[in-house]
Amino acid sequence: MVILIGNKKIKAAVFISGAGTNLESLIKFSKKKRSPFIVQLIISNNLRSKGLRFAKIFGIKKRIFKFKKKKLDEKKILKILKFEKINLICLAGFMKILSKSFIKNFKGKILNIHPSLLPKYKGLNTHKRVLLNKEKYTGCTVHFVSPNLDSGKIIMQKKIKVKKKDTPEKLGKRVLIEEHKLYPKAILKIFNL
């Protein structure tokens, strides 16, 4: 559990690489009165992330770091996070692996959403693998980020049924709808709200 001090909202940075639909849902949730956080900053490793448009739409600062020189970029990011007084990092479809030392700097304050019922199906192409293995159920997980990929403590999961006619795309779309609801709920949970 993360403790909220006073009535001040926590400043969050959301890291993205792609469409940013989870980012959009987090921003929309953050504008609600009961939200414990505001999205102060958007970070992407990909200049072409569609999700970067939400920076303009919602008037949020954005920064791009290509992670070609990972150590250097992480150093620069840490500086910005400190300057912006960021207290929570939400990885939302961020496809770069953060270094152990970066994670240590934000111990217990980095969350991630993953499109499977962890510990099953860590890594990429989760929906394809779920279908190949003829799983009856799949879902999504919000967890704390630890130095090992997709392995930190689980905060919340949502389970859904796999349908006979599912394709990876169809299944992915249904899981994504659940992701948009689960991420805000998991954040409320860590703040004990």
Residues that bind ligand GAR (CB under 6 A): 16, 18-22, 51, 92-93, 113-115, 176, 179
Instruction: Report the residue number, 17 or 35, with the smaller CB distance to ligand GAR.
Output: 17
Instruction: Report the residue number, 72 or 137, with the smaller CB distance to ligand GAR.
Output: 137
- Backbone phi, psi, residue 13, to 5°: -115, 135
Query: What is the nearest approach in angstroms of ligand GAR to the Cβ of residue 110?
Result: 13
Instruction: Report the residue number, 171 or 190, with the smaller CB distance to ligand GAR.
Output: 171
Query: What is the nearest approach in angstroms of ligand GAR to the Cβ of residue 51?
Result: 6
Instruction: Report the residue number, 101 or 123, with the smaller CB distance to ligand GAR.
Output: 123
**How crowded is the C-beta side of 188, counted as CA atoms within 13 Å?**
13
Query: What is the nearest approach in angstroms of ligand GAR to the Cβ of residue 164?
Result: 22
Query: What is the set of active-site residues?
Result: 114
Q: Which of 179, 4, 13 is nearest to 82 (CA)?
A: 13
CB closest to ligand GAR, residue no: 93
> Could you tell me which residues come within 8 angstroms of residue 118 by beta carbon, excluding any fewer than 6 positions away?
141, 143, 150, 151, 154, 157
Q: Which of 178, 181, 109, 101 is nearest to 145 (CA)?
A: 109
Strand, helix or coil at 161?
Answer: strand
Q: Which of 33, 36, 29 is nearest to 11 (CA)?
A: 36
Contact 26, 184 (CB under 8 A): yes
Query: What is the nearest approach in angstroms of ligand GAR to the Cβ of residue 131?
Result: 15
